[in-house]
Amino acid sequence: MARLRIIIDTREQTPWSFDPGSVDAEVGTLKTGDYALAGDSHFGIERKSLDDFLGTIGNGWKRFERELDRMETAGWVAKVIIVEGDYASCFFSQSLDGEIIWPSHRHYMMTPQFVEKRIAELTMRGVSVLFTAHAHLAAALAVSLFRLRNNQIKDA
């Protein structure tokens, strides 16, 4: 299996860890996204914590739409957001005894309908929003996506 060379954007504060046996990871400047294959200007992955994702689809929506426009203009083959958080954690829920359990993020005024609407809007713009429980799973998913993209590049 070919080694992957993944660029981690300089603004990543706590980068994902990758298997050093199959991935060469280096820090560099990316115009769009947080992770990309070295030399590939048509695909990258946007990493979000649950709070960051909810902030992006809320107050940061207009800025994020401009970022999506840049991806489309650059001819990205796919647009992917990996959210480190459980989808259910976005919403209020009830315990077995009927008590309201507050969500585990700071955007508690965001309704489930609003989050679902934004995810639908992202989907219609060709953006895949993938939820993972934690950073380790997110990094493994990213490697799978980058392997597929690397094969696409080789086959082109």
What's the confidence (pLDDT) of residue 118?
Answer: 94
Beta-strand pair 127-132/100-101: unpaired
The residues, ordered by sequence, that sit 6+ positions from 122 with a Cβ below 8 Å of its Cβ are 57, 81, 129
d(CA 17, CA 20): 9
Q: Is residue 41 classed as helix, strand or coil in its secondary structure?
A: coil
Domains defined for the chain, CATH in brackets: 4-155 (3.40.50.10130)
In sequence order, what are the beta bridge partners of 94?
Answer: 100
C-alpha torsion sign, points 136, 92, 90, 102: negative
Q: How far apart are the first and last CA of the chain?
A: 18
Q: Which two tokens stand for residue 103?
A: 């969500």
pLDDT in tens, the chain (156 residues): 689 999 999 999 999 999 999 999 999 999 889 999 999 999 999 999 988 998 899 889 999 999 999 899 999 999 999 999 888 776 655 555 555 445 555 555 677 788 899 999 999 999 999 999 899 999 999 999 999 999 999 887
Q: Is residue 151 classed as helix, strand or coil in its secondary structure?
A: helix
